[in-house]
Structure 1
Amino acid sequence: MSLNDTFKVGYVLKRYPRYSETFVVSEILAHEAAGLAIEIFALRPPVDAYFQNIISEVRAPVKYLLSYDLRGSTLWAVLEQASAVLPELWSKLAIARGEDVHDVHQAILLACEARNRGIAHLHAHFGTSATTVARLASHFAEIPYTFTAHAKDIFHESVQPDDLSRKLHDAAAVVTISDYNLNYLNETYGQAAAKVQRIYNGLDLKQFSYASPQHRPLRIVGVGRLIEKKGFAYLVEACDLLRARGYEFECQIVGAGDLSEDLHAQIETLNLQSCVELIGPRPQREIIDIVQSAAVLAAPCVVGTDSNRDGIPTVLLEAMALGTPCISTDVTGIPEVLRHQETGLMVPQHDAIALAKALEKLLSDAALRVQLATQARKLIETNFDIHCNAAHLRTIFRAAPVTAMQEVR
């Protein structure tokens, strides 16, 4: 039997599905299209009120590794039952010293599931709790693990360097989503980061057909969670400056989040209700239509006060694929896709004046919109095709040492 027939990968995620993590779903769908067997293991149930339509296309089964009642007797019973599946479990528990008991419990559940289901490899997204569980389960079940490091899990003030260093060191390989991240991890973690390589997140380009932005209404769009790192307060401020210059336009901001009330208040204080609207979250198909009907997408990302920041926002990739010219900032990996005056316009962080000038430039210059959008689409096709990038990821999975496992029947 060929490797294609037997090789099965367990995807380990903190929550599944998540409205904001379409990149994970696109990756799984690309693997499935190539014939790779996937099973999804989620540590928490979903909490979003909205979900993206592409989730319905995923064939992989989902198993929730829920961890609630962990009184001593309960945990002891879990260990006793698990040792029947994992005979070496008792001797391997030392690796869990200092870890959260719920993470250990979920790792034991995952290791048992991996053995019972014939999972040959574990891959986690984000180097936080999902990777903690994958790392422990890898040790317990004697199968390799890899993980993708994004942004918050690298840069946020809550990141514990010793913990991340262990995960980098113990993984069979590590993927990160930008050269900026790769360089940072190498400089910060040295030899522990020797197995890190960059693979960009990607898009299924068949879902994002290009359309010229030459004849678009004077509409600005912003898409993302309404949180500090997205910088939407600067977009609202820039819209106020544009209006003061006599421009007639509309701006739609798509998304939900903790700063919704603050942004509503800002819009009202500036009396921008007639031209700036928060329209809440939308399914992906509708977002595609909204983005492709706009003259410009603004992503004024900033590094948050808690050091949180974006990696490469998926919406930038989507807008560039669709033919909508983009404005953004120099946060982490964004300059790798948005190259100033080549594939978009770059403005400084926290600078509403510069943002307003860039918006004015694109709203008033159709030829520039077409020039930037054409070059942007070429870059997306070259570097951000999900089928090419997922194929690279599969080579990493298969290069990891595989322990022969017999599925328990």
Structure 2
Amino acid sequence: MQQTRKIVVVLKGYPRLSETFIAQELLGLERAGFELVLVALRRPTDTKRHPVHDEIRAPVHYLPEYLHEEPMRLARAVLACLPKQGFWRGLAAMLGDFRRDRSRNRIRRFGQAAVLAAEWPQGAGWLHAHFIHTPASVAAYASLISGTPWTCSAHAKDIWTSPDWELAGKLASTRWTVTCTQTGFDHLRILANGKSPVHLSYHGLDLARFAPFSGERLPKDGSASDQPVTILSVGRAVEKKGFDILLRALSLLPADLNWRFEHIGDGGELKKLQALATELGIAGKLSWRGALDQKEVLSRYREADIFALPCRITADGDRDGLPNVLVEASSQRLVCISTNISGIPELLIDGENGFVVPPEDPQAFAAALETAIRNPSLRVRLGDAAEHRVRTEFDHHASIRQLKDLFEAEWQATP
């Protein structure tokens, strides 16, 4: 029985600065008594790490990111798996998927699954995937090859950019799936069609790392040039974050308001955003801080006056679920302005504990920004309410207890 408490966790990449919610969950499961082995499809590209990554004891193994880069490793894995009946079941499943989506990625995921099955960590008795797109593909094929049951954590992009037929197939083969927003839960539950359980489990926040902010922010209202209101945003510079909308909103603010904007994060659209800021005539008020670790980000939350994140749904369906940075900022009594997509309204209620506006609307976002800038007492009231909600409803220990119970129930039912 002790051996089955070792879980192989399949991740897209590890470690990643943008996925603190996964790291804190891994650490929470270790502290709950589970032994983990992390298996990543990609090696890290971030130059920094969060402190939580150094606290996780689990070993990390990397599968071949591209099969042609490690042909001998792949060949050894396939030869080792050929005698297993599960290999042929997995191959049949992959070919069925390939007929519906003729992508080389299908073959790559099967090859990675064969390597995982052939190099299976000794004593591991369970397989869990974070993200229901590519990591879950590897997990599903590896489960068929090895005969090991698997489960899944689904999040945001992975749900909304995957075709329904593929999601339904994976849901039917898992023992259970958890997801982190009500909208994602409703969508997956319909696709599961009663064939396997789907559970709603908010990530929450490790409140020990985000202790209450005991300081006081100055009651700045944008009227003094030597005391500009600081607007902060944290996130990768990618389309779904809506940073172009935020820049356009900032450019619409009245000329008499004094403000400055700070962005934390890297991403492929940084140069385009910086060029847009220059085009809009606001580049002099902006600071681009790049990627920072969790302690540095916490310090910035406490120094800022407003947090802004105008999330959107992209043309291919990509979107955030409930961005962890909104929960983090709220934990520091920092008033947040965001949009009414996905799980954001599950945290923020407009006028009650933050500002929530429609996506793709720079004018509406600018109006919310102006209201927040000119009303420091309103910022305090909404920020206090947001912190109260986070500390009463978004403690990550609840999610860890839920996952622990789900794993324990499966193992207790296993002969």
Give the alignment's TM-score, normalised by structure 2.
0.88
Kept in 1: contact 2:90–2:142 (CA 8 A) = no
Q: By how many angstroms is 1:69 displaced?
A: 3.3
In the alignment of these two chains, the number of paired residues is: 397
Task: Report the Cα distance in structure 1 between the residues aligned to 2:387 and 2:46, rounded to whole angstroms.
Answer: 31
Q: By how many angstroms is 1:231 displaced?
A: 1.0
Q: Deviations over 1:363-397 (max 9, x none)?
A: 22232222212221222123221122111012122
Map of 2:159 onto structure 1: 154
Give secondary structure in 1 for the equivalent of 2:25: helix
AA matched with 1:168: L
Q: Deviations over 1:211-266 (max 9, x none)?
A: 26642661000111111111111211222222x34111111111122221221112
Give secondary structure in 1 for the equivalent of 2:57: coil
Map of 1:203 onto structure 2: 205
Kept in 2: contact 1:52–1:283 (CA 8 A) = yes
Task: Report the Cα distance in structure 2 between the residues aligned to 1:55 and 1:367, rounded to whole angstroms.
Answer: 38
Mean alpha-carbon deviation: is it higher for 389-398 or for 313-322?
A: 389-398
Q: Deviations over 1:114-138 (max 9, x none)?
A: 3x42112111111111001111112
Map of 1:376 onto structure 2: 386
Q: Deviations over 1:291-312 (max 9, x none)?
A: 2211110011111122211100
Task: Report the Cα distance in structure 2 between the residues aligned to 1:23 and 1:277, rounded to whole angstroms.
Answer: 26
Are 1:364 and 2:374 an aligned pair?
Answer: yes
Q: By how many angstroms is 1:402 displaced?
A: 7.5
Structure with the larger RCO, 1 or 2 (CA within 8 Å, 6+ apart): 1
AA matched with 1:26: Q
Give secondary structure in 1 for the equivalent of 2:67: coil
Are 1:282 and 2:292 an aligned pair?
Answer: yes
AA matched with 1:69: H
AA matched with 2:209: Q
Change (3 A) 1:72 1:296: closer
Give secondary structure in 1 for the equivalent of 2:112: helix
Task: Report the Cα distance in structure 2 between the residues aligned to 1:383 and 1:51, rounded to whole angstroms.
Answer: 27
Kept in 2: contact 1:51–1:283 (CA 8 A) = yes
Q: Deviations over 1:59-82 (max 9, x none)?
A: 110011115239999756433223
Map of 1:238 onto structure 2: 249
Task: Report the Cα distance in structure 1 between the residues aligned to 2:256 and 2:152, rounded to whole angstroms.
Answer: 50
Mean alpha-carbon deviation: is it higher for 210-219 or for 325-334?
A: 210-219
Identity %: 34
AA matched with 1:80: L
Map of 2:101 onto structure 1: none
AA matched with 1:104: F
Map of 2:102 onto structure 1: none
Are 1:104 and 2:104 an aligned pair?
Answer: no
Change (3 A) 1:296 1:71: closer
Kept in 2: contact 1:226–1:257 (CA 8 A) = yes
Kept in 2: contact 1:144–1:400 (CA 8 A) = no
Task: Report the Cα distance in structure 1 between the residues aligned to 2:86 and 2:195, rounded to whole angstroms.
Answer: 29
Mean alpha-carbon deviation: is it higher for 247-256 or for 356-365?
A: 356-365
Q: By how many angstroms is 1:93 displaced?
A: 4.0
Change (3 A) 1:400 1:361: same
Are 1:15 and 2:25 an aligned pair?
Answer: no
Give secondary structure in 1 for the equivalent of 2:113: helix
Mean alpha-carbon deviation: is it higher for 255-264 or for 69-78?
A: 69-78
Give secondary structure in 2 for the equivalent of 1:123: strand
Map of 2:185 onto structure 1: 182
Task: Report the Cα distance in structure 2 between the residues aligned to 1:265 and 1:216, rounded to whole angstroms.
Answer: 32
Task: Report the Cα distance in structure 1 between the residues aligned to 2:289 and 2:192, rounded to whole angstroms.
Answer: 45
Kept in 1: contact 2:231–2:306 (CA 8 A) = yes
Q: By how many angstroms is 1:399 displaced?
A: 2.3
Kept in 1: contact 2:207–2:395 (CA 8 A) = yes
Map of 1:394 onto structure 2: 404
Map of 2:124 onto structure 1: 119
Q: Deviations over 1:126-153 (max 9, x none)?
A: 1111001111112222221111111111
Map of 1:132 onto structure 2: 137
Are 1:343 and 2:353 an aligned pair?
Answer: yes
Q: By how many angstroms is 1:90 displaced?
A: 4.8
Change (3 A) 1:193 1:23: farther
AA matched with 2:267: G
Q: Which runs of no fewer than 5 residues in structure 1 stay unpaired? A: none
AA matched with 2:94: A
Q: Which runs of no fewer than 5 residues in structure 2 stay unpaired? A: 99-105, 221-228
AA matched with 1:219: T
Kept in 1: contact 2:67–2:74 (CA 8 A) = no
Q: By how many angstroms is 1:347 displaced?
A: 1.1
Where do 1:22-101 residues align within 5 Å? 22-66=20-64, 67-69=66-68, 77-82=76-81, 89-90=87-88, 93-98=91-96, 100-101=106-107
Change (3 A) 1:299 1:74: closer
AA matched with 1:280: G
Task: Report the Cα distance in structure 2 between the residues aligned to 1:219 and 1:327, rounded to whole angstroms.
Answer: 13
Task: Report the Cα distance in structure 1 between the residues aligned to 2:14 and 2:71, rounded to whole angstroms.
Answer: 29
Change (3 A) 1:239 1:70: closer
Kept in 1: contact 2:74–2:115 (CA 8 A) = no
Map of 2:147 onto structure 1: 142
Are 1:221 and 2:212 an aligned pair?
Answer: no
Kept in 2: contact 1:27–1:202 (CA 8 A) = no
Give the alignment's TM-score, normalised by structure 1.
0.89
Kept in 2: contact 1:13–1:124 (CA 8 A) = yes
Kept in 2: contact 1:222–1:297 (CA 8 A) = yes
Kept in 2: contact 1:291–1:324 (CA 8 A) = yes
Change (3 A) 1:91 1:147: closer
